[in-house]
Structure 1
């Protein structure tokens, strides 16, 4: 085989190696070891102080964005486990308020402040409609919000389910 015949093969191999899938799933463990999840791209992390139903906590948000859809996990620690469970509705309500969506009891996985709440709502954000899909979980004194937010037609069901189902509090 001549070198001239190998050049097109090398060019094709280099082009394929340079391509990356839209969703580049990777295992992620939080810096403090409090959860594991699979992100569809490299995440970044930020911490800020927030008020959740009357308690002030430092909330850490780890998020990645793919094609305008954000995949995020936020976590905070309450003073005790009962307060963590009781704060879940406030977390859920704050996100619904952020997108101007009405609260619907039908979206609750565990009404009345149980250990898990769910949400699937459409509202407005960034100048247009947005869809919010997620879960709010309490484990011990720690609270988690695991969410996917994007344009209603662009929130991919398979990737949303993969992200949500991969979440594991530790």
Structure 2
């Protein structure tokens, strides 16, 4: 089962990413399998994390604007890992993330992005924040697009624009 690495990355990237003006621009990481619109030029980080299934290569791209974080995370799992049932993997990613951030699942929608299984999650976070996330399982990659900002009754329009622009390439 795969485990997302979201909680620690959210904290470190929120502290490290520079603030910037809000000019939406199309972004595709080098060698990336997706395209998305960010509200500015995201900072990038690539690292390898040792996990119980072996080394997982992570690519994060993020930008912080005021009290809002826009981020993508690509987790490349080793080819020898049997990925199993994609819906169970997405369930595990959801549950692990909610537990690690001490959040409460407000809403979840199962969907497909292209022909890949995906989830759209709204998670109420401590201290009055909201995570609005898209998780897509593409073979041995878990692709995540995440918006974190102040809690609102409805999905924030900037989150809708960010997540709605996510497109798989291929």
Calculate the TM-score normalised by the size of structure 2: 0.69
Please name the residue that 1:109 is paired with: 110
Gap regions ≥5 residues in structure 1: 1-20
In our comparison, the structure showing a higher alpha carbon Rg is 1
Distance 2:103 2:117 in 1: 23
**TM-score if structure 1 supplies the norm length?**
0.69
Q: 1:84 to 1:50 in 2, by over 3 A?
A: farther
- CA drift at 1:32: 1.5
Match of 2:130 in 1: 131
Q: Could you report, residue by residue, the CA deviation over 1:76-130 in whole angstroms, capped at 9, with x for unpaired residues?
A: 22336844834333332333223211346x52425xxx81112101121xxx221
Superposition misfits of 4+ residues, deviation over 3 angstroms? 80-84
Q: Distance in 2 between matches of 1:141 and 1:62?
A: 19
Which structure shows the higher strand fraction?
Answer: 2
1:143–1:130 Cα change, 3 Å? same
Distance 1:50 1:43, change over 3 A: farther
Aligned residue pairs total 141
Once residues 81 and 118 of structure 1 are traced to their aligned partners in structure 2, the CA distance between those partners, rounded to angstroms, is 24
Q: Equivalents in 2 of 1:28, 1:115: separation in Å?
A: 22
Residue segments in structure 2 that go unaligned for 5+ positions in a row: 1-19
Q: Which deviations, in whole Å up to 9, do the C-alpha atoms of 1:9-56 show, x marking residues without a partner?
A: xxxxxxxxxxxx9521011111113211110021011234164xx534
Is the contact between residue 84 and residue 138 of structure 1 (CA under 8 Å) also seen in structure 2? no
